[in-house]
Amino acid sequence: MEKKEHQRAPEPVQLPRSGAGGEAQGELPAHTGKRRMWTAQRKMALVMELLSKATAATEICRREGITPSMLYQWRERFLAGGQRALLGRGLSAEEQRLREEVELLRRAVADLTVERDLLVKKTPWSAPRRGRRSDR
């Protein structure tokens, strides 16, 4: 009797995903546990696709397996970053206030350092600073 060999079913073919982002055709986002990690390039590509109105948000979300709220959150962050970049140096009001405060504190430290150095020199009981004593 002849022995028949069983043929394996062909392996499923992975359909290509949209190539609009920084990922290669058919490449899935990196997975860590249950959550997918999306690259900044891929997020930007999806947001740009949304803003171009070439594809409806629901279609993008269905195709990519994300929720509309996530896509809209990415859009808001993207637009906020662009707005910050157009404000001149790209600093928000809070960042500008903090930079000014840091500069004020640096000046205060410099003034106090100079004042301390002057007091040390004028004080009669302060011994002059010398190098290391090698006679010990």
Per-residue pLDDT at 12: 45
Give the residue with greater pLDDT, 131 vs 18.
131
Per-residue model confidence as pLDDT tens digits over 70-122: 999 999 998 888 877 776 665 677 888 999 999 999 999 999 999 998 888 88
How many domains does the chain fold into? 2
- Calpha distance 100→94 (Å, rounded): 10
18 belongs to a structural domain: no
Same domain, yes or no, for 60 and 98? Answer: no
CB-CB contact of 41 with 65 (8 Å):
no
Residue 81 lies inside a defined structural domain of this protein: yes
Say what the pTM is: 0.42
- Higher-confidence position of 34 and 109: 109
Domain span holding position 61: 31-85
| CB neighbourhood size of 103 (10 A) | 10
Q: Are residues 79 and 35 in the same domain?
A: yes
Q: In whole angstroms, give the CA distance from residue 68 to residue 64.
A: 11
Residue spans of alpha helices (H) in the chain? 40-51, 57-64, 68-85, 93-122
In this predicted structure, what is the pLDDT of residue 94?
Answer: 83
The enclosing domain of 54 has a CATH number of: 1.10.10
More confident residue, 17 or 110: 110
